[in-house]
Amino acid sequence: MSAVNFGCTRIFTALFLILILAAPVSAINLEEAVTIPLVAAYASFEGETGVLLNATVLVTEGNGYVFVDTQPYTEVDMQGSARMAALVASDVTGIDPSKHDFYFIIEVTSPIIAGPSAGAALTVAAIADIKELPLKEGVVITGMINPDGSIGPVGGIPYKLDAAAQHGATLFIVPEGQTNVFVTESKVDHEGAFVTIEEETIEVDVVKRGRAQGVEVVEAVNIEEAVELLTGYVIEVPEPTKGVWSAEYLDTLRPLSREVLNEANLMYLGAQNVSPRFNSTLELQREMLDNGQEEYDKEQYYAATNIGLMVLKNLKFIQWWDEYERSDNNESYLNDLFMNVSGEINESRLELERFKQEGIMDVDSIGAAEIRVVMAEQFLDDARSSESDVGCIESLAWASIRADTVHWWLSLVNTEHITSDAALKERAGWYVGTASSVVTYAQTIITESQSLHGLLGLLNEADDSLERARIEYDRGYYSGAIFDSSLAIVQASTAISLMGYADIDTKIERSANAAIIAIEEARDAGIEPILAVSAYEFADSLESPSQQIVEYNYARVLAKTTVQLTMYSNMSSEVAAGTPIPLKTICPTPTSTSQLPFGDGLEVPGFSIIAGLLLVFAVAVLLRRSVL
């Protein structure tokens, strides 16, 4: 036996011992796991080389952990890829990812393996394990998994194909549009002490290259196609049938929209006495109010409300700036204005707390109100730190309008259902932790691929949403933390899915349809997802394709999350741990642990996890000694 094979045997024996010792022997059944081939390409001095690996994937009842076990440690994007695979597999199969644990054991024989290209394979394996589907032999897939289930482009495909062919593959699956790729070939010449390297970019017909090696090469557009190719199982994708706007949604939003537009019209009339130099700006507000009325007449109530709120913010700024210029003491005026807005925010905060004293009714509306309180406070901080008076007044106008919207969102509560604070806290910890992982993953692979152009804005927005979610979690605004974490996940995931993607119209259509289906499913469960439908309506009003995709995806996530939170809080803890699909149990479910690995005041995994990590370290030391 070669030294390399002997070393690998020791490594996998060690990994097996870790699994055995980390949980009760009677609770482990690795035979129920799914093993899938992975292909990787890595750069060597002689050029790129392909290698075939194996991944063993196991899904159990649990607490939302995603474990990635490799030796040696892989790049951070493998960790993010595994978590994305867990999220997509949960979405496809309908299980709750915060109630299950995912184990990804990766056999690493190459010097380094990058994670994104393994995403599609890991997702297929997770779905196969959940639904107990056997994998076909001789089928290999490469591709990044996107949050909407589409399969994204990857590099090194010709070399991955070669590695798959050398190990007997008969079918090789690549992402859409990658049956013809360009690669850079290196030619190395050694002349005495000198080495010269010449590089040439060539086009490779992957189908033809595969045929020469007895391998059929096909494309897969999304995870549903990949699962069918690898298992023969057909995942039925429903078509939207009922539409987005229900009578209940329209009846709920109509009075709010009317109230906001009426208030904006009254403020517009009251602003006629400002300095004439604001006349053109006021005329623009009149046009916006007319547009808002048009949206109202078309029953686009959320869009009309947003227009009314924007006019209110603009009019506040105009009036305050006019008063500032007329005041005898500008500094005193700003101080008084700051204190007034601060008082508005405090009153909104108190109103929210009084409302929550009776229990968390309607996580949608309360979550939206919690988010607006934090937004208002952030704008207040911006005003405090502004280097210009005009910037200060602009931020104060935003802070004031955000404080106003707290009351309006609370007025939309349309259910008497109570969701326990403990259940929300548990979920919020998982969502914030997952968002942190996904945002880091997006930043890593987008930076490495040098695709920042056009995507940096989405990454920055994801950072802002995640920071807000952390603030909300620390304050006990758990509904807000869940929804802002979800938004951060959507923003970062959308940035990933847009890397090199050309057919934006198709992606918009798919995102919109997926949102409608999720909204219909919520209604079928007896829930009117106000926040989700509002996000969908907002997406319809946007002109930016990337922002449309974000809002449609956010609408889908909101609808699913609202159902999960409502259904979970209706169950006993015993029933809540179950799923429609019988899953394996790898160890007893830990009690009340958070999945958020950072920040003060957050719970962390208990002693059993720490003991497992110590065990990994001990085995690693033994392996190192055996090699030496």
In a domain, 339, yes or no: no
6 falls in which pLDDT band (50, 70, 90)?
very low
Computed over every residue of the chain, the mean pLDDT equals 81
Query: Does residue 315 sit in the same domain as residue 361?
Result: no
In a domain, 584, yes or no: no
Query: Does residue 54 sit in the same domain as residue 203?
Result: yes
Q: What is the pTM of this model?
A: 0.73
Q: What single-letter amino acid sits at 377?
A: E
Does the structure show a pLDDT above 70 at 593?
no
How high is the pLDDT of residue 115? 56
Once rounded to an integer, what is the mean pLDDT over residues 464-480? 95
Q: What is the CATH number of the domain that holds 109?
A: 3.30.230.10
Peptide bond into 72 cis (omega under 30): yes
The alpha carbon of 318 is separated from its chain's Cα centroid by a whole number of angstroms, namely: 38
Domain end, chosen from 188, 212, 231, is at 231
In a domain, 331, yes or no: no
Query: Does residue 396 sit in the same domain as residue 450?
Result: no
Query: CA–CA distance from 508 to each of 151, 220, 561 (Å)?
Result: 16, 19, 21
Domain end, chosen from 556, 575, 594, is at 575
* Enclosing domain of residue 401: 344-416
In a domain, 289, yes or no: yes
Query: Does residue 61 sit in the same domain as residue 125?
Result: yes
Domain end, chosen from 391, 416, 441, is at 416
Number of H helices, E strands in the chain: 20, 13
Query: Does residue 115 sit in the same domain as residue 54?
Result: yes
Highest mean pLDDT among 139-148, 255-264, 491-500, 561-570 belongs to 255-264
User: Percent of the chain scored above 90 by pLDDT?
Assistant: 46
End-to-end distance of the chain based on CA atoms, in angstroms?
18
Query: Does residue 394 sit in the same domain as residue 476?
Result: no
In a domain, 591, yes or no: no
Separation between Cα atoms, residue 155 and residue 562, nearest integer Å: 38
Least confident of 304-308, 419-423, 468-472, 570-574: 570-574
Query: Does an H or E element contain 383, and which?
Result: helix 363-385
Query: Does residue 431 sit in the same domain as residue 403?
Result: no
Query: Does residue 393 sit in the same domain as residue 541?
Result: no
Q: Look at the chain and report how many structural domains it folds into.
A: 4
| Better pLDDT: 361 or 124 | 124
Q: What is the DSSP letter of 453?
A: T
In a domain, 114, yes or no: yes
Highest mean pLDDT among 15-19, 299-303, 378-382, 487-491 belongs to 378-382
How high is the pLDDT of residue 364? 86
Least confident of 51-60, 384-393, 471-480, 559-568: 559-568
Query: Does residue 47 sit in the same domain as residue 178?
Result: yes
25 falls in which pLDDT band (50, 70, 90)?
very low
Separation between Cα atoms, residue 299 and residue 357, nearest integer Å: 34
Residues 6+ apart with CB under 8 A from 438: 80, 83, 84, 87, 488, 489, 492, 493
Closest C-alpha to 74, from 43, 45, 101, 109: 109
How high is the pLDDT of residue 113? 52
In a domain, 149, yes or no: yes
How high is the pLDDT of residue 155? 81
Does the structure show a pLDDT above 60 at 116?
yes
Does the structure show a pLDDT above 70 at 159?
yes
In a domain, 477, yes or no: yes
Once rounded to an integer, what is the mean pLDDT over residues 163-174? 95
Q: How is 487-550 classified by DSSP, letter by letter?
A: HHHHHHHHHHHTTT---HHHHHHHHHHHHHHHHHHHHHTT---HHHHHHHHHHHT---HHHHHH
How high is the pLDDT of residue 9? 44
User: Percent of the chain scored above 70 by pLDDT?
Assistant: 79
| Better pLDDT: 471 or 276 | 471
Separation between Cα atoms, residue 579 and residue 585, nearest integer Å: 12
Highest mean pLDDT among 105-114, 282-291, 404-413 belongs to 282-291
Query: Does residue 389 sit in the same domain as residue 466?
Result: no
Does the structure show a pLDDT above 90 at 588?
no
Query: Does residue 428 sit in the same domain as residue 552?
Result: yes
Closest C-alpha to 499, from 436, 462, 455, 463: 455
580 falls in which pLDDT band (50, 70, 90)?
very low
How high is the pLDDT of residue 208? 95
| Better pLDDT: 274 or 463 | 463
| Better pLDDT: 213 or 187 | 213
